[in-house]
Each structure stands twice: as C-alpha cells, then as structure tokens.
Structure 1
C-alpha cells in the first residue's frame, strides 16, 4: 500500500507555531530588516522545527504579490542556432572549447539586457523568471504572466493586441519598441538620431556619396533606423531610397542583393547594416569574395555587441545602453506594481563607436 504523501508545510503553519501573522513570516524571509531580531529568531526557529522552505508564492502572501519579475523573449535566437543539427555532448563540449563562433552567438543584445535586468532585480530582492518560445499569434502558453508581478518582453513579431491583453493583468514593459498610444511601457533608444549621426560620419568624414542600408523592416526599431538613414541622406542632398538596398534576414539564402552587387562589381561606397549581427555576416561575405573592408567598401553596424569589438576590422557601430535598459525595466515594473506612476515611454541615448570598418583607426 502506498504511503500517503506528506502535506507540505505552509506559511500559515509557521505563523501559527511562532504566534505571529503571515505577514511577519513573509517579511522575515523577504525583508528581515523590517522584523525585530527576537521575532525574527522566533519565526526562523518555527520554520526549522517544521522543515519549512519558503516559496515564491508564499513570500507574496502578505501583499498578494509573487515578488518575482518575468522576462520573456519570442524569437531572439539566431536562425543558425535554431536549425543546427543535434550534436553529442562530446561534440558540443569540443565545439565550445575550440571557441568556434561562440562570440558571434553570445552575448547578443538580448543577453546583455537580461544581465542588467537580473542585476537590478537582485538589488531589489526580486527573483526573475525567464520564458520564451510561444507562438507569435497566441499567448496561451505564457504561464509566466500569471506567476509574476510584472513582465518585460522582447516582442519579436507578436501581435500588439496580444501584448495589450497581457498588460491588463500585470505591468508590461516592451523593449526596442517606440512610444505608442497604449497602456504598455516602452523602452527604446534614439534609433533615428543615431543612424543620422552614423551617416553624417560616413559622408562628412569619409566623403562617401553612395551609401546603402541593409536590414528587414518588420521590427519597429529597424524601421526607425531606416527612417533616420533616409533623413540623413536627404539632409546631405543625396538620393533617398524608398526601401533598403537589401531587406535581408539571417538565413542561408540571405544577402542576395548584396551578393549580386559583389558579382557585378556594383557595390555602394558604404553599407549601413541594421544590426551588428548582420554587419558581421556582411564582413564575412565580403571577405569570402575578396572585397576589402574598408578599402573597397565601408561597413557599419548597430548595437555595440562584444563580437563587433573583436572583429577584424573592428566594427564602427552605434552602442545601446543594454544593461541600463534592463535595469530601467525592473524599476518600472516594481514601481508600477507598488502603485507608483512611471512615464509610459523612455527613449535612451546612444553613442556612435568608431572602429576600423568605416576607414578610421
């Protein structure tokens, strides 16, 4: 006959044993400085006697909150990572020890924002729950929203109405999303101004007159960068394209327009790439075809990931304040959950970082 499963000790049991309220038990484990030393010792002794281990939900019983924050990504992995064949553990270990492409895959901008998010959550005594991979068209599988006090999202191609639906239950912050007329909080950077500065550098400093933009416009931040590119060309009296030179995505068949231009010998003077990851792929492709950077063509990126600093030549790019974006999201979520007001949108500054890929250095 099976033995009955022992019932788990709860915060109520500890409170009853110690003769205190459940709020006092919660503060003892979550904010011990708020509890008198003698009371705290009483609660801890009761917890030890009962074998009580506090859970995230128990910590929030005093105020109806979980004390956890969520960070969710829809599709922030590289296509090459998602389509890679399954390898044995020995192969994976050897691949990693050999350093084959590691710096190209980690850390990316999502990883650096996550680091800032986790650091600020730790500072405030909050735990972090991570999630990823739900359908773009349905948030039914995101149990995370019902388990946290606030949720920060890398939206990918998620429908706006679905994000707003989540925002009706908990505070929501969306990264890399421009201000919109909705109830969500948005954190982005000055994408347009940054690309204008980048184009100004290519035209004024290097004298380039044929400048092309590469990138897919589906993401709102990439669209803003292209708008800045168009505005900069117009300000310099240069022809303004209606669409990017190459609306590429990072797949095996990507950069077809660029490949055709290489083959025909009709490359622009400079290539302004929507992201660093795209710019690094462009550098590889150009090198494979014997095109010298920056002698034959200048290349720039956007993000400021570590891989760009280690490339040869080093990448001229725009650096985003990733960690600060993550930290700000935590502050917005915790303050909003506590009933404090926050602006709905933040636009953080960027900085142009000059490397060798534009011809400087």
Structure 2
C-alpha cells in the first residue's frame, strides 16, 4: 500500500518516505505493471483510432498523424488499434476513441459510442476536438499573396460541406473583404486531376499576376501542372499556395508554397486529450486550435 501511494499519490506521503521507496525500487529494479494497473482500474489500455475516409488518398498525411498518436499513447503505455472499417468501430472494449475523417453523416454513428471520444477536425456537434486553425492558415496565405502584389486571388476549394472547408474559405473571404476585393471561389473534389482539368478548361480566363490559393496540397499539385501545361510562368506570372505541408508540397516541381499543419504534434495532442478525458471519467475537454505555419517555396514570389 505504501509503494502504491508513492507511485500513484506521491502528495500523500512525506518526502523522506518517497525517497526510501524510490531507493528500494531502484535497488530491486522494480517497475509498475501497467497491465495489472489497467485491470485494477477496469481498463484495457487500448485506444481505437478510427479513420472514416479513404486512407489511400491521403496516406502520407495519415502516416504522420498515426505516428504522433502512437507516440502520445506510448508515454502512458497505451496501445493503438487502427480501425478503417466502420462496422468494426463498436467491437471490442477500448478505453476510448480518436476519430478522424468524420463527416456530418457520421455523427449518428459516433453518438452510439459508450466510451470517451475525441475528434480530429472541427465539428459543431459538441464533441471534443483538436484541429489546425484552418481560418488563420488561409488568412496567412491570402495576406502573403497580397504582400507579393498578386492582383487576382482565386480560391480553389474542396467540394464538401464541412467545418474545416468553411473555415478555410472564411479566411480567404474575410481577408479579401478587408482589402475591398471580391472573392472568386471554385470548388471540386480533392483530386489533383480535377484541379488540373479545371485550369486547362478555364485557362483563357486567367490573367497574368494571378495566384491560386488552394484548400489542399493535392489541389495545388494539379493547379501547378495545369499552369505549366499551358505555358504559364511560375511564380512571376502565376502563383500557387497549398494547404497541408506533409508530403505533396515537397515532391511537386517546383515545390509548393503551403500552409503546413504540424500533423505529428496534432497526433500527440489528440492522444493527450483523450487520455486526460479517460482519466477524468469522460469529462468534457473542449477544443484546441493549433497555429499552422506558412512555408514559402518555389510556387510564389519570394
């Protein structure tokens, strides 16, 4: 009992007693048994990470996110169980869930879960969440484009009715309104071949000194290809700015100026929030918006 108090509630024992127990633990090479502790607390030390979208489309992004989550869980000796089949979400007995890729249509599914849930991504249904500050990120991109004296700023958005997309568009619209400029928004599926086709089909409409501010690096890659295919000069005549900064921005030629999300850090923060929620018997944790970073590369004027 004394050892248990020293390990779990050190504030309840004297400094002298803590020192004696720590010395004995070091001499005996004692380590707390996490499995036994979990059993005593009626827990499994397993967290389900649920991905509710096509992993194949965004694989580099999710590799970084999962690494961050695993790192955060490992600090408390929790195991990660990856779930990509929504029919398997409520099977087993995890201590909690980290859910990413959720859309409005998934909320009914999440409402059925009995254990603590933390969402990766803005939501308006009362779930605790962590996300990049999407609005601020695009605001930074738009302000940068104006500072580099591009005269026409076009937003290439993702055709989804989701909070993250609304926030990114709001960052663009609000910044233009402050500068008394009219927004131009075009939305499409999040695929590079769609944005490339869009540029090809509308090429005659784009004057020189135009910058395309894209809701993802994937869209930005297609825009770059379309501009080059039509003989446009990047970055002097046309600029391109993406959003994510995980992988595609670096393999593009030229490399893409982008808003970088700290994805591994976001994963660690998700793990920390969920473990805190589990420890507090499901208490509400609120929301956390993380500031993204503007990375200036070859698709905009330096």
> Which band: TM-score by shorter chain?
0.7 to 0.9
**What is the CA distance between 1:127 and its match in structure 2?**
0.8
Q: Which residue of 1 aligns with 2:143?
A: 200
Match of 2:44 among 66, 78, 88: 66
Cα offsets for 1:77-131 (capped at 9, x unmatched)? 345xxxxxxxxxxxxxxxxxxxxxxxxx6522x2211111011111211111001
Once residues 252 and 358 of structure 1 are traced to their aligned partners in structure 2, the CA distance between those partners, rounded to angstroms, is: 21
CA positional deviation for 1:195: 1.0
* TM-score scaled by length of structure 2: 0.80
Structure 2 residue 260 is the aligned partner of structure 1 residue 319: yes
- Check conservation: 2:45, 2:95, Cα contact below 8 A: yes
Instruction: Give CA-to-partner distance per residue, 1:237-284, whole Å, 9 cap, x none.
Output: 11134xx2243331755554322112x253570101101122122222
Is the 1:59–1:66 Cα contact (8 Å) retained in structure 2?
Answer: no
Q: Tell me what 2:189 maps to.
A: 248
1:221-260 alignment, distance < 5 Å: 221-241=164-184, 244-250=185-191, 252-253=193-194, 255-260=196-201
**CA–CA distance in 2 between the matches of 1:336 and 1:156?**
20
Mapped to 1, the partners of 2:99 and 2:125 lie a distance apart of: 18
Match of 1:172 among 117, 120, 136: 117
CA contact (8 A) 2:69 2:268 kept: yes
User: How far 1:236 moved relative to its partner?
Assistant: 0.9
> For the Cα contact (< 8 Å) 1:317–1:354, is it kept in 2?
yes
- State the alpha-carbon separation in 2 of the partners of residues 291 and 133 from structure 1: 43
Find 1:128's aligned residue among 59, 80, 85.
80
Aligned-residue RMSD, C-alpha: 3.0
Which whole-Å CA distance do the structure 2 matches of 1:164 and 1:350 have between them?
30
Written as runs of structure 1 = structure 2, the 5 A alignment for 1:242-281 is: 244-250=185-191, 252-253=193-194, 255-262=196-203, 264=204, 266=206, 269-281=210-222
Contact 2:196–2:224 at 8 Å: present in 1 too?
Answer: no
Contact persistence 1:76–1:156 (CA under 8 A): no
Alignment partner, residue 112 of structure 1? 64
Alignment of 1:284-299 (within 5 A): 284-299=225-240
- 1:155 aligned to 101, 106, 115, which one? 101
Change in 2 beyond 3 A, CA 1:307/1:222: same
Quote the offset at 1:310 in angstroms.
Answer: 4.1
Q: How many residues align?
A: 276
Q: What CA distance in whole angstroms lies between the structure 1 residues aligned with 2:177 and 2:169?
A: 12
Q: Deviations over 1:174-226 (max 9, x none)?
A: 11224x352x211112211221121111112x212211111224132122101
| C-alpha distance 195-38 of structure 1, shift in aligned 2 (>3 A) | closer
Runs of 4+ in 1 over 3 A off after TM superposition: 35-41, 251-257
TM, length-normalised to structure 1: 0.68
- Structure having greater relative contact order (Cα 8 Å, sep ≥ 6): 2
Could you tell me whether the CA contact under 8 Å between 2:46 and 2:79 is conserved in 1? Answer: yes
Flag the 1:252–1:279 CA change in 2: closer, same or farther, 3 A: closer
Counterpart residue number, 1:350? 292
For the pair shown, which has the larger CA radius of gyration, 1 or 2? 1
CA apart distance, 1:342: 5.5
Structure whose residues are more often strand by fraction: 2
**Pick aligned residue for 1:75 from 49, 53, 66:** 53
Q: 1:77 to 1:293 in 2, by over 3 A?
A: farther
